[in-house]
Amino acid sequence: MAATRSSVARRWRIAGWVLLALGWVAAACVYATAPDGPAGSASYSVVGGETFADPGGATGWQAQQIERVGGQGTLLIARFDDWLGTLWHGRRLALTLGVAALLAALACRFVASLVDDTDLR
């Protein structure tokens, strides 16, 4: 029975290494092919004859309206949602993939340690 447990634990460890390698290769490919800046999400304002790119997310007026209607908590949730949306585009997607691959590999390692420690008598 012990040989079966160690073989299952070994498979979990191998799965962790495979997930880590594939995730980091995918992250490297995304990083190499992604554009440097935000992908067409910037809006522009003209002030005094000069054009400025507005950053993504709510402007000051929009943030004021969100806070007025829903309160400070709603404004914080809206800002968190804007930040979360940036993780799925461009080079930040590569970072997200790399971190997700690392977490998946660590989870596989944890499951392997649980299988090793299990006493099946």
Higher pLDDT, 50 or 12: 12
Residues in contact with 46: Cβ distance below 8 Å, sequence separation at least 6, in sequence order:
52
User: Over 90: is that where the pLDDT of 99 sits?
Assistant: yes
Higher pLDDT, 11 or 86: 11
Tell me the whole-structure pTM to 2 decimals. Answer: 0.70
> What residue segments make up the domains of the chain, in order of their start?
1-39+90-121
Residues in contact with 98: Cβ distance below 8 Å, sequence separation at least 6, in sequence order:
23, 24, 27
User: Over 80: is that where the pLDDT of 20 sits?
Assistant: yes
Query: Tell me: the pLDDT tens digits for 34-51?
Result: 987 655 555 666 777 777
Query: Tell me: the pLDDT tens digits for 101-117?
Result: 999 999 999 999 998 87
Task: Grade residue 97 by pLDDT with cuts at 50, 70 and 90.
Answer: very high
Q: What is the chain's length?
A: 121
Least confident of 54-68, 73-87, 92-106: 54-68
